[in-house]
Amino acid sequence: MVQTKKLKLFNDPIYGFIGTPNELIFRLIGHPYFQRLRRISQMGMSYLVYPGAHHTRFHHALGSMHLMTKAIQVLRLKDIEISEEEEKGLLGAILLHDIGHGPFSHALEGFIIDGVGHETLSLEYMKALNEEFDSALDLAIEIFNGKYPKPFLNQLVSSQLDMDRLDYLKRDSFYTGVTEGNINSERLISMLNVVDGNLVVEEKGIYAIEKFLMARRFMYWQVYLHKTSLVAEQLLIRIMQRAKELMPNQSILGEDSTLYRFLFEEKEVGVNRDRLSQFALLDDIDILAAIKKWRFHEDFVLSKMCQMLLDRNLLTIKLKKSPVQPEKVEAKLNSTSGQFGISKQEASYFVFTGEISNNTYNQQEQEINILKKNGKVVHLLKESDALGTDFISRKVTKYYLCYPK
Amino acid sequence: MVQTKKLKLFNDPIYGFIGTPNELIFRLIGHPYFQRLRRISQMGMSYLVYPGAHHTRFHHALGSMHLMTKAIQVLRLKDIEISEEEEKGLLGAILLHDIGHGPFSHALEGFIIDGVGHETLSLEYMKALNEEFDSALDLAIEIFNGKYPKPFLNQLVSSQLDMDRLDYLKRDSFYTGVTEGNINSERLISMLNVVDGNLVVEEKGIYAIEKFLMARRFMYWQVYLHKTSLVAEQLLIRIMQRAKELMPNQSILGEDSTLYRFLFEEKEVGVNRDRLSQFALLDDIDILAAIKKWRFHEDFVLSKMCQMLLDRNLLTIKLKKSPVQPEKVEAKLNSTSGQFGISKQEASYFVFTGEISNNTYNQQEQEINILKKNGKVVHLLKESDALGTDFISRKVTKYYLCYPK
Amino acid sequence: MVQTKKLKLFNDPIYGFIGTPNELIFRLIGHPYFQRLRRISQMGMSYLVYPGAHHTRFHHALGSMHLMTKAIQVLRLKDIEISEEEEKGLLGAILLHDIGHGPFSHALEGFIIDGVGHETLSLEYMKALNEEFDSALDLAIEIFNGKYPKPFLNQLVSSQLDMDRLDYLKRDSFYTGVTEGNINSERLISMLNVVDGNLVVEEKGIYAIEKFLMARRFMYWQVYLHKTSLVAEQLLIRIMQRAKELMPNQSILGEDSTLYRFLFEEKEVGVNRDRLSQFALLDDIDILAAIKKWRFHEDFVLSKMCQMLLDRNLLTIKLKKSPVQPEKVEAKLNSTSGQFGISKQEASYFVFTGEISNNTYNQQEQEINILKKNGKVVHLLKESDALGTDFISRKVTKYYLCYPK
Amino acid sequence: MVQTKKLKLFNDPIYGFIGTPNELIFRLIGHPYFQRLRRISQMGMSYLVYPGAHHTRFHHALGSMHLMTKAIQVLRLKDIEISEEEEKGLLGAILLHDIGHGPFSHALEGFIIDGVGHETLSLEYMKALNEEFDSALDLAIEIFNGKYPKPFLNQLVSSQLDMDRLDYLKRDSFYTGVTEGNINSERLISMLNVVDGNLVVEEKGIYAIEKFLMARRFMYWQVYLHKTSLVAEQLLIRIMQRAKELMPNQSILGEDSTLYRFLFEEKEVGVNRDRLSQFALLDDIDILAAIKKWRFHEDFVLSKMCQMLLDRNLLTIKLKKSPVQPEKVEAKLNSTSGQFGISKQEASYFVFTGEISNNTYNQQEQEINILKKNGKVVHLLKESDALGTDFISRKVTKYYLCYPK
């Protein structure tokens, strides 16, 4: 009749309920580093296109952990040995895999701490938490950084079929309402197996994998790289750049703000424990609050970009299959310079080009391997009718041009 | 405050509610020819694999009609003219597009009335109903058989993007629980347009079309051609063949039964009004009742096959990429002949080979055309990164061998 | 890497996948007695109102078993002891709880085998299977008939909160599309606990229970007792009665048919092993095939009723809060007798009255008990604001009158 | 082939797609006043309990408008006259019905602008927009404030069965994953009708209404008044109060911030156009940014409360059926004062009592009226078996006590 903490349940519109499988997980979820993920949106600026897309890294981390419990269950039923300790490690690693994300996730990645990506930061946070939790995360860290001797454990956390992707595709599809991205995570998991220490997919799962890769491709082009999100994220980045540019001359944020220190003070090199705990104070709110303040800044370029973002009165964006001709950009720069009464250098905040690219299946990454009924293991691309052509692994690039309406 | 018949609503787990858009539709639904579709399952024997797949042609016909009302709405908003009369024609044509299906839909198609497919029969039923309904279906018939001068109306009823497919993929995915087949019918419809009288898809819809074709491909290989359904449908056909073979010597069905007359009496050639109304008396029940009766027939072959189907104690089936070698079949025939104490000719009811094939996109059929932003219309395969390779239109063939456990 | 039978999965649109938790369950599902449930519809004639309601007892039995695995998991996490053997018993008992249902489930219950209900028959089938499976069902039988010393095990199979109800409400709501009946089975299960050997609901679950009882009430009045289903089921029963009445004079079914033997031959008393295996040959198909045949019977009353049911051209039905006045019935009898040219006795097949009643919560049944935070156990009605009035346990009765259009 | 603005579609996970029915609606959605609703969460602090509950007033406003288009369609099919102009008015009124909400919706209502509720502000914003849009909202305003001669139009916007409630219950249920609150909005709408200018529900809709009221009751007690959300909202309010209290002595927000001006500067009385546009600059971000800043404030009380909210390390809360005894509060005040080393007045920020109450059905509000089949109109409570008792309209009150862990 004891009601243990194990049973602490989170409501999830996708999986129904998400439990907390052990005491360590329960305590990690309660830690301020993890609670902060409640204030970091999963999909950056996508809510400007898909008004339901306000879900957070917090929810995604719980969801990935939930799928991991399913994967462990399936593999054990297939007589793959996963010890209690390894289970704890897997759950810890997947729960914390994104804990290093900063404000607006990918949009500002590498900008707030120069050139340091979220994976590096996740690892650093795990190490810091490991000290706090008396080395309870030793195995989680080994699994996360791929040093543990059973490679499939790492592959469950980070590979082309990891629990991360299986959750985020499903979750992003759910909250955007883009049902085309709705993958059947449970079926995919039920087809996992392990051969020679590596994760494989049973042969009958080929169609499900193809479907999964196509759903992923769909989500990339229709959602993640949607041109309106793209232009919004470009504005977000350019707002930060303009603020930095203006900084030598004028104070534009309270000097006691954490964001101020990251953006404008002398940079330290690398990541130390102190910078980690500072970084953990940042989230979407700091960025949005700065943008709301700068909306009234005296610099036209800065305030105009902020207003555009806040009122969703964005730049025009055109997507092309080939790079934009320089004379076209030049013409737009000139007209914008005239329209707004600003220099051409300033106009380049509003007129710019860029490219986006995606390949559905990355052969450079860990391959997806198929376990055939006769016991042989082959590469996915060899087995699949649909994928055995180059399109799925071909990188597709598109080019864009942005300018004011 | 008048509550008109127009508002007669059908509950549908997929679309919520399906209304009856006009009086003609209301009366057609009530006709015994249409009510009979309640006793014809949409997916033949698939419920032996997917226990939820008991939905009927009746429900699918309502669903397709519902999508047609959406398509009409979308096209009119884009200033495509569809008159009141044309609307009535479209709705009649789509509601009745499958009315010619016989017991177990495709499984026994062309068997009960020799060589006559369901489309021919649907047209004949429409003509018969047209007489009964004082020519109210004139336009529906013209649209259905492609003789109406606006080709897009026919294409909404019958093409690679018709309302039929948009409903059945979604519906079959829903009832089987195979979420991978869940297409976003509403999004696809919202991207339809008309150029020069032909249905086109707006450029931004390309990813949605790719996704739709991949979902269709998935459903074919994982569901419609699932090897267990396949072997069950083969048994169904072979039961009917054996019954015919035995017939000259013994009475095996009450001679007053409708099925008896179709299977065993002198065949008329072609389809006349009288045979139509006879055929309308047949549905899944007649076949299943015969199988339940024959389960106790003195002929071993017949009764054994019936028992296999009823108790889902099916033959073993193996799928291969190349044709089965004759000596392998020969060996199985011999062992089965021995095992059951029957002749080799009789054993061939239990040991047989065959092939299945499917191409995701059929270039021989009406092409899917894309309307580009610059106003040009191009073929889908030219525009799509994913489909611009041959795999999607390549016919894939698999070979199977069945034999007793 | 072994892929055991344990992992045999059924696709379920509701729970995603349903596994087969042990070898015994796997073999029970394969037994012809259980496979027969694929041909017994869960909701009788309701598909005439809700076209999606073609799901079967087979699917419901699997679903209930799935919920039972969840309940076992939840209770064990709360340190309630359930041994491996008890688990096997629970799963066997719930899987087979409805195996005694005959054609059209409740509609013809007690008619085919005079006065013997489906629960009695389920128990008899369990005993028969127990012999076949070498006493593997001993515990399942004890749990099912309430003789096992831990009452909560029986209560999980049969009580006001059993897994049976938790599945059928959810499943019927799903397939009919009546979303109001969609209960949150997982939440209800997560709130179960055991005190002094009896099932209780934790205090925080009160609103969920109230909601569950209201959903059940909704389903009764809007779906199970829908007046159109009601009139269809009445026709079904009356068709059988008329057939019996005609029988002394004329053969109306092949004398070798199983249904014939049950309906028309000298009745044995009680249920023996032989009658059990005969009864197991009956399902919805036998009834529908008879109706299809009788549609052309020379008796006007019989054929007319069959045609009404098959073409969904039903009687008019009026629901009232008080009993129908005899003179009203008399008048309808007279007019029908005239309209059809039949005797008044014959007219009474088309003109009749009856009553339906339901109480949402039955205090005579096992009470639902609430476990308060302070450890006390109290009756639901004492604790609930919403239910602490009489309406929820009051029996509501409605009266109906049917007659031809 | 023209693709008009009318077809601008929003993806909605609930309804699929939401269109923009006319040009005015399209322009209103684009207005900064409306875009601001993207930054106001629908459910205040509920995401601390239900991690999916990050949806916004923006999305809810679109959803309510979508349901209004359905209601108009249904009523017109029942021959209720609604002119083009009235349709435009209805859609404008429902789109803007919540535009006056401030940061965190209800949680801080009446606090930022003293004693002025969101309905008053919504009306003022409508008037301001009406000037900007050349009186296009005249009718919307009349309908909104109940002055238009056809009362049912106002009732569709604001009554116990308005489109507002029909959307928010469904939407909140969806995003929290609390499926018990999932009402069938479409069915409820299909049962609306109008008698003597007033909205009624057709008799057959009674069970649906009962179900709707029970779902609403469930959502109130399980979600909206969830004790954890409650304590979080109390902390939010108390943070604002403490900030105000500290203000005379120290600057605690940049004096150029909009929030500063609302909270700390001399208050104007009432609402003028200038204050409206100032208020429109406020949203959840301003509040959260202040809390993030105050987390490091030197005042222990303020910083502690901010930390509690940000790290979700909340106060303990106990719910009771009777008021908390003063001596219990006194004891907690003393121990907290000791624990934190603060005065008893300061301790009262952490130790406090309060009450919450809700009645499912409010007879003081506009009654729900039922249209019987015989044409009479009666009050809901007269007709309903379930509601014809006092519980549904009885006000239930609960009492709480909060204190530090």
Closest CA to C299 of C343, C335, C330, C364: C343
ipTM above 0.90, yes or no: yes
All chains having 3 or more CB pairs closer than 8 angstroms to chain D: A, B, C
Contact B13 C176 (CB under 8 A): yes
Question: Is residue A181 pLDDT above 70, yes or no?
Answer: yes
**Three-state secondary structure call for residue C398:** strand
CATH assignment of B1-312?
1.10.3210.10
**Three-state secondary structure call for residue B91:** helix
- As a whole number of angstroms, the distance between CA D155 and CA D152 comes to 5
Query: pTM of the predicted model, to two decimals?
Result: 0.86
pLDDT on residue D353? 97
pLDDT tens per residue across span B48-93: 999 999 999 999 999 999 999 999 999 998 999 999 999 999 999 9
**Each residue's pLDDT tens digit in chain D (405 positions)?**
344 444 688 999 999 889 899 999 999 999 999 999 999 999 999 999 999 999 999 999 999 999 999 999 999 989 999 999 999 999 999 999 999 999 998 888 877 887 788 899 999 999 999 999 999 999 999 999 999 999 999 999 999 899 999 999 999 999 999 988 888 898 899 999 999 999 999 998 888 888 888 888 889 988 999 999 999 999 999 999 999 888 766 666 666 678 877 777 656 667 788 889 999 999 999 999 999 999 999 999 999 999 999 999 999 999 988 999 999 999 999 999 999 999 999 999 999 999 998 876 766 666 899 999 889 999 887 777 666 556 566 788 999 999 999
Contact B58 C38 (CB under 8 A): no
Average pLDDT over residues B127-144: 97
A82 vs C246, which has greater pLDDT?
A82
**Three-state secondary structure call for residue B1:** coil
Task: Tell me the β-bridge partners of B357.
Answer: B397
pLDDT on residue B3? 43
C139 vs B4, which has greater pLDDT?
C139
Residues from chain D contacting residue A51 (CB–CB below 8 Å): 10-12, 38, 56, 58-59, 62
Residue C327 CB-density burial (10 A; 0-12 exposed, 13-18 middle, 19+ buried) = exposed
Of B180, B187, B208, which is closest to A211 when you measure between CB atoms? B180
pLDDT on residue B359? 73
How many CB atoms lie under 10 A from the CB of residue C151? 17
Domain boundaries, chain D: 1-312
Written out in words, the top-level CATH class of the domain with range C5-216 is mainly alpha
Q: Specify whether the CB–CB gap between C259 and B259 falls below 8 A.
A: no
pLDDT on residue D95? 98
Of A262-271, B17-26, C106-115, highest mean pLDDT: B17-26
Which tokens sit at A101?
A: 């994300």
pLDDT on residue B9? 84
- As a whole number of angstroms, the distance between CA A21 and CA A7 comes to 8
Contact D12 A51 (CB under 8 A): yes
Residues from chain C contacting residue D388 (CB–CB below 8 Å): 391
- As a whole number of angstroms, the distance between CA B369 and CA B372 comes to 10
DSSP for B286-346? HHHHHHHHHTT-S-HHHHHHHHHHHTT---EEEEESSPPPHHHHHHHHHHHHHHHT--HHH
pLDDT on residue A228? 94
pLDDT on residue C266? 56
Which tokens sit at C366?
A: 């096992």
Minimal-distance CA residue of chain B relative to D10 = B187
Of A12, A289, A311, which is closest to D35 when you measure between CB atoms? A311
Of C80, C190, C371, which is closest to A17 when you measure between CB atoms? C190
- As a whole number of angstroms, the distance between CA D103 and CA A392 comes to 46
DSSP for C177-238? T-GGG---HHHHHHTEEEETTEEEEEGGGHHHHHHHHHHHHHHIIIIIT-HHHHHHHHHHHH
Residues from chain C contacting residue D211 (CB–CB below 8 Å): 180, 214-215, 218
Minimal-distance CA residue of chain D relative to B185 = D16
- B132 to B100, C38, D80: CA distances (angstroms): 17, 38, 34
**Cα end-to-end distance, chain D, whole Å:** 65
Domain A5-224+370-395 has CATH 2.60.120.430: no
pLDDT on residue C176? 96
Alpha carbon of D182: minimum distance to chain C alpha carbons (Å):
7
C107-123 burial code (b ≥16 CB/10 A, e <16): bbbebbbeebebbebbb
Alpha carbon of A352: minimum distance to chain B alpha carbons (Å):
22
Residues from chain A contacting residue C193 (CB–CB below 8 Å): 1, 3
- Return the HEC string of A126-175: HHHHHHHCCCCCHHHHHHHCCCCCCHHHHHHHCCCCCHHHHHHHHHHHHH
Residues from chain D contacting residue B4 (CB–CB below 8 Å): 77-79
pLDDT on residue C264? 72
Which tokens sit at A299?
A: 């610099």
A374 vs B140, which has greater pLDDT?
B140
Alpha carbon of B312: minimum distance to chain C alpha carbons (Å):
7
- As a whole number of angstroms, the distance between CA A54 and CA D102 comes to 19
Q: Where does the pLDDT of residue B254 fall: very low under 50, low under 70, confident under 90, or very high at 90 and above?
A: low
Contact C1 A186 (CB under 8 A): no
Residue located via tokens 């009402």: D183
Q: Where does the pLDDT of residue B385 fall: very low under 50, low under 70, confident under 90, or very high at 90 and above?
A: low
Contact C183 D180 (CB under 8 A): yes
Ranges of residues in chain C whose predicted pLDDT is under 50? 1-6
pLDDT tens per residue across span A187-226: 899 999 999 999 999 998 888 888 888 888 889 988 999 9
Minimal-distance CA residue of chain A relative to D255 = A254
Q: Specify whether the CB–CB gap between D88 and D140 falls below 8 A.
A: yes
pLDDT on residue B367? 80
pLDDT on residue A1? 38
Alpha carbon of B375: minimum distance to chain D alpha carbons (Å):
10
All chains having 3 or more CB pairs closer than 8 angstroms to chain C: A, B, D
Report CA Rg, chain C.
Answer: 23
Residue type, B355: E
B154-169 burial code (b ≥16 CB/10 A, e <16): bbbbbbbbbbbbbbbb
pLDDT on residue D4? 45
Average pLDDT over residues A39-65: 96
Most A CBs within 10 A among C1, C8, C201, hence the mutation to make, goes to C1
Residue A390 CB-density burial (10 A; 0-12 exposed, 13-18 middle, 19+ buried) = exposed
Q: Specify whether the CB–CB gap between A88 and A121 falls below 8 A.
A: no
> What is the enclosing helix (H) or strand (E) of D319?
strand D316-320
Question: Is residue B94 pLDDT above 60, yes or no?
Answer: yes
Question: Is residue B326 pLDDT above 90, yes or no?
Answer: yes
**Cα end-to-end distance, chain B, whole Å:** 65
Question: Is residue A4 pLDDT above 50, yes or no?
Answer: no
- D204 to C212, C227, D372: CA distances (angstroms): 21, 12, 8
Closest CA to D262 of D110, D124, D35: D110
**Three-state secondary structure call for residue B353:** strand
Question: Is residue B2 pLDDT above 50, yes or no?
Answer: no
How many CB atoms lie under 10 A from the CB of residue D78? 17
pLDDT on residue C392? 64
